[in-house]
A and B are shown apart, each in its own frame.
Chain A
Amino acid sequence: MAVHPLRLSRFNVTSLVLGLAFLYLPIVILVIYSFNASRLVTVWGGWSTRWYTEFFNDRAMLDAAWMSLRVGVVSATLATLLGTLAAIALTRGTGFRGRMLMSGMLYAPLVMPEVITGLSLLLLFVALDAGRGFVTVTIAHTTLTMCFVAVVVQSRLAGIDRSLEEAAMDLGRDPLRAFIAVTLPLIWPAIAAGWMLAFTLSLDDLVIASFTTGPGSATLPIRIYSEVRLGVKPEINAICTLIVGFIAVVIVLASLVSKLSSARGESAAPL
């Protein structure tokens, strides 16, 4: 299907340029101001990295960052496992009982207001008399992010040609082995992307973490939020820039991984 696109009008170009500028300019400004030497956030006092030094001496902030990293890695890993299983069940397990309920439970959290998800999980933890902290936040984040993983992996799985797997079974592999040998390498980029998405979502979440964490175990967004409520501080600019940089590195890594593995997948596909 050779669809040749219509000519771009001047209106198309303008709206694209303005739209992208709108999306990126605020972040660029934030990054520039994080290197501002002046204590007044809005007065330019020359380039400096003093706010970064300040952050690395801020014990409470560092603790919160460490907590967020731990929650992010553990919950993203759990979410990837569960979400991938859910995606397999939804694409391959046609007509099992409760399939409707399963897809409903997986799609609902994607649009559910976070205040409701957070509140309901907290009430569960209180009823179970579970001490709130690392474990409860990790469970909450896993619940939310596994749905995103399931959607990402499912869309990739749905596009996979099943005849390859059938061929492997004709050659005597059992279905599970055929899946692991043939299909798993093909959906690997989607699984990796799902992990990255789950990780960044966890790193980002404020509302659900506020409900499900306990005293003394604040995540980074909770700390940032309480500082931001008091006004703009140059140190926050520096922390935000570090997070943006960190996520940029994660995205670049993710796209490299998916390029590499899809290149390998394509060369391996003819088998």
Chain B
Amino acid sequence: MSARRIFTAPARLAAIPPYVWMVLFFLVPFGFVLKISLSQTAIAQPPYMPVFGLSEGIDGLKASFAALSLDNFRLLVSDNLYLASYLRSVLVAVVSTLILLAVGYPIAYGMARLPRRWQGIAMMLVIVPFWTSFLIRIYAWINILQHDGLLNKVLLALHVVSTPVVWLSTDSAMYLGIVYSYLPFMILPLYATLAKQDPSLIEAAADLGVSRIDAFWLVTVPLSLRGVGAGALLCFIPIMGEFVIPDLLAGSNALMIGQTLWLEFFTNKDWPVASATAIVLLGLLLIPLLVYDRLQRRQLEAR
């Protein structure tokens, strides 16, 4: 106990460098996003009207306040392009998370039932693909899914289809890519809660005459909801802002919000609108985080 008290002082010192770094390169940049989201678009370099320049003194500052505008946000609400992008992002994230849950749960469950010494190996095998490049994993699928790619060849050879199926630039390809990329994020938290479950609970259920399948739904699943929540959150939030996967695998007629932001920024050079898009996206992402936090707190109180 004494050690803890003595050690707090150096630990505080240790906090200073990472603290300063994160404030400077994580917190402050958000101030800039907010500031530029409120400024006017300009055809200049950088392409926005300056606001809050301190060079012109108090009068300049007053003028800056007057120049602030919510125009960019108004545009986001009024133009269907943005609304459609946000809705599509939510839809894609929800559907992907559900598929990930359906695919990831059996795998995590199987892992948790392996003999102890195999569980570590299984976990390594799930983590390793996460270490290999994200872009390469998507590219590997382009190889397989293209017009004369392996998938079509196999399907043709097996006489499942008579003409090659178009896979690339479709939503199916995009969902496949998302599930493939985010599967480890879903499996690991699920496995963590499933592995901790006491098997004697299942044995007790069996002693009471509950069938294996019923025991799974009555005991295993409810006790793993914590892992379900964590896995869903870990997948849902980054998928909402996903750019690379829909850009490479989905068609270009419907965009996710990450793609719209990218387009505004790099192609249209409209930095203020891109910033406003980012601010609204952040606000949207806070919702699942707050819900999760609320649920967890309620669980703690219930104990």
Contacts and interface: CB of A to CB of B under 8 A. Distances in A.
Interface of A: 3-9, 11-13, 15-16, 19-20, 22-24, 26-27, 29-30, 33, 40-42, 81-83, 85-86, 88-96, 98, 102, 105-106, 108-109, 111-116, 119-121, 123-124, 126-127, 139-140, 142-143, 146, 150, 162, 165-166, 169, 175-176, 179, 197, 200, 203-204, 206-207, 210-211, 221, 224-225, 228-229, 232, 236-237, 240, 243-244, 247-248, 250-251
Contacts of B146: 41-42, 232
Given A42-B148, A143-B25, A203-B133, A224 B139 contact: yes
B136 A207 contact: no
Interface stretch (B69-77, B79-87, B221-229, B278-286): B278-286
Contact of B144 (A4, A29, A89): A29
Interface string B143-165: 11010111001000000000000
30 contacts: A5-B115, A12-B110, A19-B106, A19-B110, A19-B183, A23-B125, A23-B184, A26-B140, A41-B143, A89-B11, A89-B15, A92-B11, A102-B15, A102-B22, A105-B22, A111-B238, A112-B238, A115-B261, A116-B33, A119-B274, A120-B30, A124-B29, A143-B21, A143-B22, A143-B26, A146-B18, A224-B136, A229-B248, A232-B146, A244-B132
A30 B136 contact: yes
Given A42-B150, A120-B33, A93 B140 contact: no
A141 to B, nearest CB: 11
A229 B135 CA distance: 12
A215 to B, nearest CB: 13
Secondary structure type dominating chain B contacts: helix
Nearest to A109: B26
A166 B3 contact: yes
Contacts of A12: 106, 109-110, 113
B240 A113 contact: yes
B22 A106 contact: yes
A237 B242 CA distance: 24
Nearest to B19: A102
